[in-house]
Each structure stands twice: as C-alpha cells, then as structure tokens.
Amino acid sequence: MTLLFDTHSHLYDEKYDEDREAVLTECQEKLKGWINVGADLASSIQCKDISAKFPSSFFSSGVHPHDAKDHSMQDLEKVFELLEHDQCIASGEMGLDYFYDFSPRQLQQDLFKEQLKVAKEKNMPCIIHVREAFEDFYKIIDEVGYYNGVIHCFTGTLHDAKEIIDRGFYAGFGGLITFKKTQEIRDAFMVIPNDKILLETDSPYMAPTPKRGKRNLPYYVEYINNKMAELKEITPDEMMTITYQNAKTLFSLK
C-alpha cells in the first residue's frame, strides 16, 4: 500500500473546474492522503468542502501573503473559525512574498504575525510561504516565538536551510527539485535532516519532470519522492516511509 502523502495542493483552483471529481477520486486511489491548502477565506471553505467528501483529504485554513490586501478582519475571524474543523490540520498558507509584492510588505507582515499568534494559541502547525523574505521572516518568527510548521516549497539558500532547521522547522520540497537548473535547491535539500523533509506538489503549479509545463496533480508527488530518494541514496520506498512519518508527526495525523 502506498504511503505517498502530498502535504501541499490547491485542488479548488480553477484549473480543475472541468474534472475536479475525477482528479479527487484518482487522488483517493493513488495516495495515502493529501492536504488542500487554503489561501483566503473562500478557498479555505472550498478545502473544507472537499474534505467532507473525500476522507483522505485534509485541509488548512489561512490567508496567503498575495491575498493580504484583500482580506478583512471579519474574513480573518472566519478563517480562524475553520481551524476548529476536524479535518483541518494546519494554519496557513501564511507568510511573506517579496518577489511578487502583490500586497504591501507591512500588511503582509502584520497578517503573518496575526496568523502565527493564533496558531500558537491553538498549538497548530503552520504552512508557511517565504520567498525572498527570509530576514523579515526570522524577525517575525522569533518575535512570536513559534516554530511549529513547514517552510513550503523551500527556495532559500544553504544558510536559510540551516537557520530553519536550527529553529525546528520542516522543509517542503516539490517539483523544483527535479528541474535541471535548480542545483541550489538540491544543495539545500541535502543539508536538511531526513526527519525534517516533507513531500509536496503545490498542485496545480510547478509540475515535476517529466510532467513539467503541464497541470500538476497531487499523485505526481511520486516523481518528487523518487528524485529525493536518488539524492539521499535510499530507495523510493524508504523515502516514502520517511516523509509519511514526518507528515504524521507534524500534522498529528491519525
């Protein structure tokens, strides 16, 4: 039986509008489980609705830094209410993105801090997005003093890899690790201890080689698992077992 577990997907995305039920059914058949990650109130509710129909599907509730400018405090309260749901196992996607800067940086920081504080109160793991913003990320995370979560789609340097591990975070790796021109991602991956690695696809984005350029699907996590196993010089089954155990530990999966 497979233990492949995709810790990060967005199956509410419009790219699945024409065949969502079929994709979800195939995920149920091919994966041990997966997490649908909310990016705002509307998508977090959609994640909850998917989990109600598919027992292997868990979800998170949060506001992505891209969407910081569009949220209201009333929306945020409803996002936090979803954290109480039985199938909700994490807070997020939250964080900082200074690459696109779709929302003002101060607003991103304020919203990230607020979500962190609530996650800390509820003792829930966080799914964190950090892109070209690690220095401010460290300041905020150390100010709040909460280190329970995963840096999803890790794109930091070797220095950042060591910094997040020193703080106790997990690192999520997806399709990027399979691309030819991303040696820096593989270098960072190699310094992350095996017990801090998570598998993810970030579907529908960044499909791994050999599916690159196509719509990503959660069960393509197998290609990422195989590449990670190759890099660490263990078998795919060993990597699958390691990453599933890590997901169980971080997200308190039963």
Question: What averages of pLDDT result for each successive group of 10 residues across the chain (254 residues)?
Answer: 96 98 97 98 98 96 95 92 97 97 96 98 98 97 98 96 98 98 96 98 98 97 98 98 98 91
Q: Which residues contact residue 70 at a Cβ distance below 8 angstroms, ignoring those fewer than 6 apart?
A: 40, 103
Task: Output the pLDDT for position 5.
Answer: 98
Q: Are the C-beta atoms of 191 and 158 separated by less than 8 Å?
A: yes
Task: Output the pLDDT for position 73.
Answer: 84
Q: Which residues contact residue 190 at a Cβ distance below 8 angstroms, ignoring those fewer than 6 apart?
A: 231, 232
- Phi first, then psi, for residue 129 (nearest 5°) are -105, 120
Question: How many other CB atoms are there within 10 angstroms of residue 170's CB atom?
Answer: 28
Q: Which residues contact residue 16 at a Cβ distance below 8 angstroms, ignoring those fewer than 6 apart?
A: 23, 204
User: How is the chain split into domains, by residue range?
Assistant: 5-251
Task: Output the pLDDT for position 72.
Answer: 85
* CATH entry 3.20.20.140 includes domain 5-251: yes
Whether this prediction's pTM lies above 0.95 is answered by yes
Task: Output the pLDDT for position 145.
Answer: 98
Residues of 33-42 as b/e, b for ≥16 C-beta within 10 angstroms? bbbbbbbbbe
